[in-house]
Amino acid sequence: MIKTLARSIRDAALPAIFTPIFMLAEAFCEVCIPTVMKYMIDKGINVGDMDNVVKYGVMLLIFTVASMFFGITAGITASRASSRFARNLRWDMYGNIQQFTFSSIDKFSPASLVTRLTTDVNRVQMAFQMLTRITFRAPAMLIFAFVFSFRTSPKLSMTFLYAIPFLVIVLAIIIKKAFPIFDKTFKAYDDLNECVEENVSGIRVVKSFVQEEHEISKFQAISDKIFGLFMKAERTVSFNAPAMQIAVYGCIIAISWTGAHAIVASGNAEPGLTVGGLTSLFTYTMQILMSLMMLSMIFVMLTMSKASADRVAEVLREGCDINDGERNLTELKDGSIEFKNVCFKYSDTAESNALDHISVRINSGETIGIIGGTGSSKSTFVQMIPRLYDTTEGEVLVGGENVRDYNLEALRNNVAMVLQKNTLFSGSIYENIRWGDENASDEDVQRVCRLACADEFIQKFPDKYETHIEQGGSNVSGGQKQRLCIARALLKHPKILILDDSTSAVDTHTDAMIRKAFREEIPNTTKIIIAQRVSSVEDADKIIVLDSGKIADMGTHDELYARGGIYKEIYDQQTKGSEDDA
Amino acid sequence: MPNSNSHGGRPPRGAKVSMKFDKKTIKRLMSYLKPYKWQMLVVVICVLLTAGSSVMSQLFIKTLTDDYILPMVGADNPDYGGLLRTLIGMGVLFLAGAAAAYFNAWIMAKVSQGVLKTVRNDMFSHMQSLPISYFDTHSHGDVMSFYTNDADAMQQMLSQAIPQVISSGVTIIAVFCSMLSLSVWLTLIVVAFLFVILLITAAIAKKSGAYFVKQQHSTADVNGYIEEMINGQKVVKIFCHEEKAMSDFDGKNVELCENTYRANANANVLMPLNNCLGYFLYVILAVVGGTMAIKGVMNVHCFGVNVLSLGAIVSFLQLSRSFIGPIGQVSQQLNSVAMAMAGAERIFTLIDEQSETDDGYVTLVNAKRDENGELVETNERTHLWAWKHPHSADGSVTYTELKGDIVLDDVDFGYVPEKTVLHNIDIFAKPGQKVAFVGATGAGKTTITNLINRFYDIADGKIRYDGININKIKKADLRHSLGVVLQDVNLFTGTVMDNLRYGKPDATDEECIAAAKLANADSFIRMLPQGYNTVLKGDGSGLSQGQRQLIPIARAAVADPPVMILDEATSSIDTRTEAIVQAGMDALMKGRTVFVIAHRLSTVRNSDVIMVLEQGHIIERGPHEKLIAEKGQYYRLYTGAFELE
C-alpha cells in the first residue's frame, strides 16, 4: 500500500523532505530555549546582573525567532508537500480510472470511486501532513530534551527513565483496548448513516405504511449502540490525561526532592545544580512527556487513516487487462462482425456464463435486431464488439480481424455505441454532440441531429443548439435525451452502430423515422438494435432472440413468428388488442 | 422528483465561519445540556481541581526556591522535613488533580455523547414527522449532512472545544490571579502584550479563513466534476474521451492544490508565531522584572507592597508561559466552535421545520356485526374494519364499514399556492374498481395519488373515503387503509421477511410467504442463500431489477389494504417478465379498489376506467374500448403515434 502511494509523491518529495529537517531545527531551538532561560535566571536575575539578563535575553530571542522561522517554514513546506501529494494522488487515480475496463467500473461502482477520490484522498492528505510535521519532530524533541536535561543534571534526568516507560505502557494499553471499540463505533456510524439514507430515500414507503414509529425505534437502537460503544471506549480513553498528569507531576515531585538536595549540596552554583537548572528541568519534563503524547496521537491518527489509504491504493493498483492489440490495427476493413463460439463470465467465480457459446455472423451494412427478457445478456452481447469486455472463451471478429488485434481507440471510434444507461454532460448541445467528433462543423452536428430526429425539438428551444444541458441531462426528457445520445454516436461516422435499448422513451413514430433515416442515410453502417419493443426490430434484416445468454432463435420477423417460441410470445403479448382495435 | 443523491457536488456548507453567534442557538444548545446540570457541576469542579493543580505546580517553583532551597543553601544542617511535608501535600493535590482529570474526561464524554444522542434522535423523530414536500425540496445529500457533517461538528465542539475552553479559562483566571499576587506592574505588561497577540491572531485567522473558503469552493468544484465524469465514465470510454477528461480535470485539480496549500500554510503560521510572541513576553518580563528587583522599585501586589524577590520573578516568568499557552489553545478551538454553531443552527432549522399536521379524529377499528347486523367495535382481530366517527356535536359515535369507495370531487391542487397543477379533478372509484391514469410526465398522475393518501393537502374540492372527508380521518389510519407500490423500489436493511412484513409487523411467516407466492416472488426468494432470512443490504442491490420490483408488490399484499395505488409498479420489468408478474398483480388487485399509473398501456387496458391526463386536466375518461373508439389522445398514445415522457 505504502509503495503504491509513494509513487504519487513526485514533486511533493522535496518539500516533504525539507519539512522534517525544518521541524528538527525547530525542535532543537525549542529545546535550547529552557537552557538559555536557565542561564538568564542563574547568571542574570538570581545574581542581579542586568547585563547578563539582557545578553541571555537577546540570545533567547534569537532562538525563539529561529524557532518561529523554522516552525513557519516547516508549516509552509508541509502544506506544500501534502497538497501536492493529494493533487498527484487525485491525478493518478483519475488517470487510472480513465484506463479502467467496464468490469473495473462495475466492480468499484461510481459512487465508491467518487468517495475514494474525494473523502479518502483528503484523509490521506491530512495524515501525510501529520506524518511530515510531527512524526520526526516528536521523537527528536524527546531525544534533544533528554540530552539537554542530562547535561543539566544526569542524576535528576534518571527520573525520566521511570516516567517514559510508565507513560508508554499506559498509552499502549489504552490504544490497544480502545481501538477495537472505536472500530466498532465506526461501523455503527455506518449503520446509522445507512438508516438515515434509507429513510430519506424511502420516506414515501415509510409514510405510506405508517412505519414512522418503527423507524424511529430502529434509529434509536443504533443511536443507543453508538452511545454505549463510545462510553465503553471512553472509560479507557479517559485515562489518557490523568496518566499524563501523573507522569508529569511525579517527575516534578521527584525532581523537586532530589533537586533540592542537589542544589543545597552544590550551594546553588555551577557546575552543580542551580535554581535555574531546576526550572529548565521542569520545562524538559513537559517537553519529553508531551512528545510521547504526540506520538501516541499520531499513531492513532495514522491507523485511522489506513483504511482510506487502502481504498486509494486499491484504485491505483487496479490494472487494465484490456490494452491495445499487439498488431495495433488502426483500420477497420468493414462493419462485419463474427462471434466464434463466444463464452463470457463477469467474474472467474461466477457460476454460469453470461454469454454461452454464441456463434453468429453479421454482414457489413446489415440491420440486426436483438430481443430478449431482462437478464438475457443482450447488453453483454453487444459490449463484446467494441471490446468493452474480453471474451472468456472464443473470439469476436470485427472487419474480419480479432478485436484483440486492434488499437483500442481505433476500434471504439469505429464502433459507436449508445448505452442503455446513457449520460449527457453539463454543457451546450453542441458540446455534447461533439463528443463524437471534436472538429465537427455546426452543419455536421445539425445533420446528425436531423438523422436522429433531434433537430425538431432542438429548434424549439429558445437557444437552439446552444441550449445548456444540465448535469446528467436532467433538463431534457427521456426521449429527447435518447435522441441526443444517438446523434452523438452518429457523429463518429462509425462502421458499426449499436443502440442498446436507446429508443425506449421515443414514440413509435419517431422511432420508425430514425430507423428509416438509418436505412437511407447510412446504408453501409452495420446497425445493431436492442429493443424491448418488437416494433423497433420488426423490420431488421435479422433478429436475434436471446434467452439466458444463449441464442434461442434467429431469423427475420416472418421466420421467427412462423416458428412460434419466445419471439411470437413477446410479439403477441405486445400487440394484442391494438390489432383487433386499430 | 427534485431529489438528487449527490453528496460531492453540492456547494460547501459552513464555508463561511462567522464569530457572531445567534443567542437563540446558544440558548437551545444549553437546554440540551440542562438534564446534565449535576454532571456539568461535577465537571466544573473537576476542571477547577485539574487546572488548580496545574497552576499550583507553576507556583510551586516559587515556594520551592524561595522557602526551602535558597534558605537551606549554605546551611550547616539543612532540614528537609518541611520540604518533604510540602511535597507530600503537593503529591496529594496532584493525585486529586489527576483523578479529577479522569472524571472530567469521562463525564464530559458522557454528557457530549448523551447530548449528541438526544439531538440525533430528535432530528430523526422530527424528520419522520415532516411532510413529503420537505423531502421534495431538500436534496438527500443535504439531509444526510445534518447527521454527518453538522452532528460531527457539534460532537467536536462538545467533546473537545468546550472542555478545552473551560479548562483554559479556569487556568487563565487562576494564573492571572497568581500573577497579580506576585506583581501588578508585571501583570499590566502581560495584559498589554495579550492585546498585541490577539490582534495578530485575529489578522492571521481572517486571512487563512478567506483561503479556507476558497479551498471549500474549489473542493466543491473538483468533487462536482469528478462526480459527473465518473458517473458517465462508460460514455467517456466508448467515446475515447479519456485524454480530454484528463485535461479538464488537470486545471481544477491544480487550483484545488493551490488553495489547499494557501489555506493550510496560513493556518500553520499561527502556532509558531504565538509561541514566539510568548517568548518575547518572557524576555521583556525578565528584563523589566530584573531591573525592578535590582533597582529596588516598589512592587505592588494584591497583598501589599514589597521589593520584588528573585524567586517571584522566576515564578512570574513561568506563569507568563502558562498564561499564553491556553490563550493559543482557545484561539485554535474558535474555528471548531464557529463551525459547530453553524452546524447546530442548521440542525435546529431541521428540528423547527413544520411537522405534518393531523387534525383527523376518525379512526380505523376492528369491527363485527351484532345480532341486529349493526357494526360494533371489537378488540378481536376480525377481518372487518370500520371507520369510527365520533360526532362532537352530540357526542355520539357512528361506524362506517371500510369498503374502499373513493371520490374526488372537483379537486384543485398546487404545490405552491400560486401555481395550480391539478384542475377540477373528479374521480369516482367504487369498491373493487380499477382506475388507471395515463399521461405524459408532469401531467399530474402521481400527484393525484399523493392527494389520496394526504402526502399533500388539496387546495379546493373534497376527497371522500367511504363517504368520509379524508381531512377528518387520522392520517395514520388513512394510510393504513391504502397500499402503495412505487416505481422506485425502496427496501430496508434487514431480512426479506422483515421487508415483506414492513406494512404489517404482526403478520405471520405464512402470510408473508403466501403474499410472496401471490406476487410470483416466492421462487426467487427461495433461491437466495438463506431464503426468506437472507439479509438485504444496500437497498437490495444483490437482487436483479425485476426481482427487486416484486418485493414491494408482495409487501403491499401482506399489508392487505382495501385500496391499492400502483405507481409504475411494473415499469422496470420487461414485458415478458411482466406477463409472469401480471398474474400476481391481478390476484393482488382482485377485490380491491386500485389506482394504476402505468407507462405501458398494455398494463392499464383492462381497467374499469382510464383517465387521460394532460397538464393537470382530465381530458378523456372511460374504459379502453370507449377511448379507442373516440380516437382521441388515448388512441394516439395507444397506437404509439405519440411520445410519452
Percent of chain B with pLDDT over 90: 3
Looking at the partner chain, which of B87, B120, B228 has a beta carbon nearest the beta carbon of A425? B228
Q: What pLDDT digit, counting tens, does each position of B96-152 carry?
A: 988 988 888 888 888 888 998 999 999 999 988 888 888 877 777 778 778 877 888
Range list for CATH 3.40.50.300 in chain B: 406-638
Q: Which residue has the higher pLDDT, B618 or B443?
A: B618
Q: Which amino acid is at A189?
A: Y
Q: What is the CA radius of gyration of chain A?
A: 36
Average of pLDDT values for B270-291?
Answer: 85
Q: Rounded CA gap, A546 and A562, in Å?
A: 17
Residue A455 contacts B where some CB pair is shorter than 8 Å: no
Fold of B184-307: ABC transporter transmembrane region fold (1.20.1560)
Looking at the partner chain, which of A74, A223, A278 has a beta carbon nearest the beta carbon of B121? A223
Specify the pLDDT at position A80.
Answer: 92
Q: Which residue has the higher pLDDT, B381 or A392?
A: A392
- Find residue A547's DSSP bridge partners: A550
- C-alpha cell at position B479: 394510510
Work out the minimum CA distance from A358 to partner chain B, whole angstroms. 22
Specify the pLDDT at position A62.
Answer: 92
**Residues of chain A contacting residue B227, judged by C-beta atoms under 8 Å apart:** 114
Average of pLDDT values for B38-45?
Answer: 87
The number of residues making up chain B comes to 645
Average of pLDDT values for B351-374?
Answer: 85
Question: Where does the pLDDT of residue A82 fall: very low under 50, low under 70, confident under 90, or very high at 90 and above?
Answer: very high
**Residues of chain B contacting residue A505, judged by C-beta atoms under 8 Å apart:** 643-645
Work out the minimum CA distance from B286 to partner chain A, whole angstroms. 7
Which of A345-349, B34-38, B409-413 shows the lowest per-residue confidence on average (mean pLDDT)?
A345-349
Looking at the partner chain, which of B128, B235, B276 has a beta carbon nearest the beta carbon of A206? B128
Percent of chain A with pLDDT over 70: 97
Write down the residue that cell numbers 480481424 correspond to: A401
Which of helix, strand or coil describes residue B469? Answer: strand
Specify the pLDDT at position A221.
Answer: 92
Which of A134-138, A362-366, A383-387, B298-302 shows the lowest per-residue confidence on average (mean pLDDT)?
B298-302
**Chain A window 527-566: which residues touch B at a Cβ cutoff of 8 Å?**
532, 535, 566
Q: Which residue has the higher pLDDT, B59 or A145?
A: A145
Q: Span A1-144+305-321: which CATH code?
A: 1.20.1560.10
H-helix or E-strand spanning residue B191: helix B184-231
User: Per-residue DSSP letters for A359-376?
Assistant: EEEE-TT-EEEEE--TTS
- B239–A488 C-beta distance less than 8 A: yes
Specify the pLDDT at position A187.
Answer: 82
How do strand A401-402 and strand B434-439 relate by DSSP bridges?
unpaired
Average of pLDDT values for A485-500?
Answer: 89
* Residue A85 in this model has a pLDDT that exceeds 90: yes
CATH architecture designation of domain B406-638: 3-Layer(aba) Sandwich (3.40)
Q: Rounded CA gap, A206 and A198, in Å?
A: 10
Residue B297 contacts A where some CB pair is shorter than 8 Å: no
Question: Where does the pLDDT of residue A196 fall: very low under 50, low under 70, confident under 90, or very high at 90 and above?
Answer: confident
Looking at the partner chain, which of A50, A197, A198 has a beta carbon nearest the beta carbon of B290? A50
Write down the residue that cell numbers 495584559 correspond to: B191
- A260–B68 C-beta distance less than 8 A: yes
A229 contacts A188 by C-beta, under 8 angstroms: yes
Work out the minimum CA distance from A393 to partner chain B, whole angstroms. 23
Residue A228 contacts B where some CB pair is shorter than 8 Å: no
Per CATH, the homologous superfamily of domain B20-182+340-354 is ABC transporter type 1, transmembrane domain (1.20.1560.10)
Which of A4-8, A469-473, B538-542 shows the lowest per-residue confidence on average (mean pLDDT)?
B538-542
Side-chain-facing half-sphere of A422: CA atoms under 13 Å: 31
Average of pLDDT values for A189-216?
Answer: 84
H-helix or E-strand spanning residue A216: helix A212-237
Q: What is the CA radius of gyration of chain B?
A: 36
Work out the minimum CA distance from A372 to partner chain B, whole angstroms. 8
Identify which of B479, B539, B399 has the alpha carbon closest to the alpha carbon of residue B5.
B539
- A264–B75 C-beta distance less than 8 A: yes
- B286–A44 C-beta distance less than 8 A: yes
- C-alpha cell at position A551: 441464442
DSSP class of A109: -
- A507–B641 C-beta distance less than 8 A: yes
Looking at the partner chain, which of B57, B132, B246 has a beta carbon nearest the beta carbon of A95? B246
**Highest averaged pLDDT of the listed ranges A238-252, B15-29, B574-588:** A238-252
Q: Rounded CA gap, A255 and A285, in Å?
A: 10
Q: Span A337-581: which CATH code?
A: 3.40.50.300
Specify the pLDDT at position B492.
Answer: 84
Torsion of CA B368, B369, B371, B374, to 10 degrees: 130
Looking at the partner chain, which of A64, A84, A200 has a beta carbon nearest the beta carbon of B279? A64
**Residues of chain A contacting residue B623, judged by C-beta atoms under 8 Å apart:** none
Tally of CB atoms within 10 A around B160: 16
Range list for CATH 1.20.1560.10 in chain B: 20-182+340-354, 184-307
Specify the pLDDT at position B441.
Answer: 63
* Residue B176 in this model has a pLDDT that exceeds 80: yes
Residue of A471, A491, A535 best to disrupt the B interface, most CBs of B under 10 A: A471
Specify the pLDDT at position B213.
Answer: 77
- A105–B233 C-beta distance less than 8 A: yes
* Residue B16 in this model has a pLDDT that exceeds 60: no
A119 contacts A308 by C-beta, under 8 angstroms: yes
Farthest CA pair distance, chain A:
120
Work out the minimum CA distance from A517 to partner chain B, whole angstroms. 18
How do strand A393-398 and strand A337-344 relate by DSSP bridges?
antiparallel
Mention every residue, 6+ apart, whose C-beta is less than 8 A from residue A331: A410
Q: Which amino acid is at B383?
A: H
A448 contacts A483 by C-beta, under 8 angstroms: no
Q: What pLDDT digit, counting tens, does each position of B553-596 carry?
A: 888 888 888 888 888 777 666 666 667 677 777 777 888 888 98
- B291–A256 C-beta distance less than 8 A: no
Mention every residue, 6+ apart, whose C-beta is less than 8 A from residue B591: B432
Which of helix, strand or coil describes residue B429? Answer: strand
Which of helix, strand or coil describes residue B489? Answer: coil
Identify which of A343, A346, A336, A412 has the alpha carbon closest to the alpha carbon of residue A368.
A336
Identify which of A532, A513, A376 has the alpha carbon closest to the alpha carbon of residue A454.
A513
Q: Which residue of B has its CA nearest to A385?
A: B238
Average of pLDDT values for A396-425?
Answer: 84
Q: What pLDDT digit, counting tens, does each position of B202-236 carry?
A: 888 788 778 877 887 888 788 878 878 887 788 88
Q: Rounded CA gap, A307 and B334, in Å?
A: 30
* Residue B371 in this model has a pLDDT that exceeds 60: yes
- B272–A71 C-beta distance less than 8 A: yes
Provide long-range contacts, Cβ within 8 A and 24+ apart, for A168-173. Answer: A168/A292, A170/A239, A170/A243, A171/A240, A171/A243, A171/A292, A171/A293, A171/A296, A172/A296
Residue A117 contacts B where some CB pair is shorter than 8 Å: yes
Cis peptide before B71 (omega within 30 of 0): no
Identify which of B405, B402, B404, B407 has the alpha carbon closest to the alpha carbon of residue B448.
B407
Q: Rounded CA gap, B164 and A353, in Å?
A: 61
Identify which of B289, B331, B66 has the alpha carbon closest to the alpha carbon of residue B172.
B331
Looking at the partner chain, which of B5, B80, B261 has a beta carbon nearest the beta carbon of A83? B261
Q: Which amino acid is at B616?
A: G
**Chain B window 512-551: which residues touch A at a Cβ cutoff of 8 Å?**
538-539, 544-546
- B575–A57 C-beta distance less than 8 A: no
Tally of CB atoms within 10 A around B234: 21
Torsion of CA B148, B153, B155, B160, to 10 degrees: 150
Distance between terminal CA atoms of chain A? 67
**Residues of chain B contacting residue A577, judged by C-beta atoms under 8 Å apart:** 602, 605, 624
A476 contacts A506 by C-beta, under 8 angstroms: no
* Residue B39 in this model has a pLDDT that exceeds 70: yes
Which of helix, strand or coil describes residue B301? Answer: strand
**Residues of chain A contacting residue B240, judged by C-beta atoms under 8 Å apart:** 408-409, 412-413
Q: Which residue of B has its CA nearest to A269?
A: B73
Q: Rounded CA gap, A285 and A34, in Å?
A: 11
Identify which of B453, B508, B522 has the alpha carbon closest to the alpha carbon of residue B485.
B453
Residue A260 contacts B where some CB pair is shorter than 8 Å: yes
Fold matches, A1-144+305-321 and A154-272: yes
Which of A347-351, B165-169, B269-273 shows the lowest per-residue confidence on average (mean pLDDT)?
A347-351
B415-450: burial string, b at 16+ Cβ within 10 Å, e else: eeeeeebbbebebebebbbbbbbbbbeebbbbbbbb
B581: buried, middle or exposed (CB in 10 Å: 19+, 13-18, 0-12)? buried
Provide long-range contacts, Cβ within 8 A and 24+ apart, for A227-235. Answer: A227/B113, A227/B114, A227/B117, A229/A181, A229/A184, A229/A185, A229/A188, A230/A185, A230/B109, A230/B113, A231/B109, A231/B110, A231/B113, A232/A181, A233/A178, A233/A181, A233/A182, A233/A185, A234/B105, A234/B106, A234/B109, A234/B110, A234/B113, A235/B106
Work out the minimum CA distance from B256 to partner chain A, whole angstroms. 8
A485 contacts A434 by C-beta, under 8 angstroms: no
Backbone angles phi, psi at B412, to 5 degrees: -115, 145
Helices (H), A378-441: 378-383, 408-414, 429-433
* Residue A554 in this model has a pLDDT that exceeds 70: yes
Question: Where does the pLDDT of residue A577 fall: very low under 50, low under 70, confident under 90, or very high at 90 and above?
Answer: very low
Looking at the partner chain, which of A279, A413, A472 has a beta carbon nearest the beta carbon of B314? A279
Which of helix, strand or coil describes residue A320? Answer: coil
Work out the minimum CA distance from B373 to partner chain A, whole angstroms. 31
**Residues of chain A contacting residue B233, judged by C-beta atoms under 8 Å apart:** 97, 100, 105, 110, 113
- B602–A249 C-beta distance less than 8 A: no
Q: Rounded CA gap, B149 and B340, in Å?
A: 9
Taking one residue from A and the other from B, the number of pairs with CB-CB distance under 8 angstroms is 440
CATH code 1.20.1560.10 for A154-272: yes
Please report, for chain A, the start and end positions of each structural domain, with discontinuous segments joined by +: 1-144+305-321, 154-272, 337-581
**Chain B window 205-264: which residues touch A at a Cβ cutoff of 8 Å?**
219, 222-224, 226-242, 244-246, 249-250, 253-254, 256-258, 260-261, 263-264
Mean pLDDT of chain A: 85
Residue A268 gets the label, from left (phi > 0), alpha (psi -120 to 50) or beta, of left
